[in-house]
């Protein structure tokens, strides 16, 4: 995830992606998703919070809708 974030933080790389959404907002949300991912992958004994699960589901839906528009 970190490499995706670093790549997309660069405005020149973002231009090549050519999607019409705010780069800064997208990258910030990707950082939040990355934090949740890291907690899960490093076996947080409590698991993701209900708020984190909601955030993950919303972001997944957003990406699915974005993909539909790009195809």
Annotated domain spans of the chain: 2-70
Q: Report pLDDT digits (tens) over 23-70.
A: 999 999 999 999 999 888 888 788 899 999 999 999 999 999 998 888
- CB neighbour list of residue 1: distance below 8 Å, 6 or more residues apart: 30, 33, 34, 37, 38
Under a CB-based contact definition with an 8 Å cutoff, are residues 33 and 59 in contact? yes
- pLDDT confidence of residue 7: 95
Copy the structure tokens of residue 71: 């195809």
pLDDT at 71: 75
pLDDT at 40: 87
| Residue 27 to residue 29: CA distance in whole angstroms | 5
């Amino acid at each position: 995830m970190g490499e995706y974030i670093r790549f997309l933080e660069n405005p020149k790389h973002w231009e090549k992606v050519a999607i019409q959404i705010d780069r800064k907002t997208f990258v910030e949300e990707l950082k939040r998703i990355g934090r949740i991912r890291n907690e899960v992958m490093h076996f947080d004994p409590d698991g993701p919070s209900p708020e984190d699960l909601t955030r993950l589901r919303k972001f997944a839906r957003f990406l699915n809708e974005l993909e539909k528009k790009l195809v």
